[in-house]
Amino acid sequence: MATMMRWDPFQDLRDAQEEMAQMAQMVQMAQMSPRLAHALGLHGQPQGSGRAETTAWAPALDISERKDAYLVTVELPGVQAEDLEITLEDGLLTIQGERHFAHDSSEQQFHRVERRYGAFRRSITLPAHVMAEGIEASFDNGVLQIVVPKMEEATPKRIQVRPGRAEVLAASSAAGTEATTPS
């Protein structure tokens, strides 16, 4: 009797990625270019032969809009509040910081490191109608929330039309003589 196995269409991709990662680890004795590391799925892992270690990662973020403000939510597990810097310059909101690799034990040998560590930087262009001085940020349980308040919308003003000549028109047509207002 034949046994049926469920086919996983992504297993081949996972196997190929694992083989490429193993191949990249063999090549790691030589300096690996950032493009090659990214192509091999190693863009967040240390590169090179132990000299200058470069890591790159970008935390996930969401941008939502309310009536009164924009809300930027950034997932930063493992990052400390003191390792974050948020700046606003010329309408560009920049969030940068660093997640430190916490396991520097000589007793441990890592077989796989999939979590990303190191410095990160995300920049968002804000709309022109925001109040820069009202921006607030909070950080709780690895989630950064930035509230960017909108400027109050200019409300249309209804202008009543009065019969007769306007004072401004009468003053401009007098050209050098004192304008008199009709009563």
Please spell the DSSP secondary structure of 138-177, one letter per residue. Answer: EEETTEEEEEEEBPPPPPP------SS--HHHHHHHHTTS
* Residues making up the chain, counted from first to last: 183
Q: What is the pLDDT along the chain (183 residues), one digit of tens a residue?
A: 667 767 777 777 777 887 777 776 665 544 555 555 555 555 444 444 443 344 467 899 999 999 999 999 999 998 999 999 999 998 899 999 998 877 666 777 777 878 888 889 999 998 888 999 999 999 999 999 999 999 987 667 888 888 887 666 555 555 555 545 554
Distance CA 7, CA 45 (A): 31
Q: What are the boundaries of each domain within the chain?
A: 12-54, 57-104+114-152
Please provide the CATH number assigned to the domain covering 57-104+114-152.
2.60.40.790
Return phi, psi of residue 34, to 5°.
-60, -35
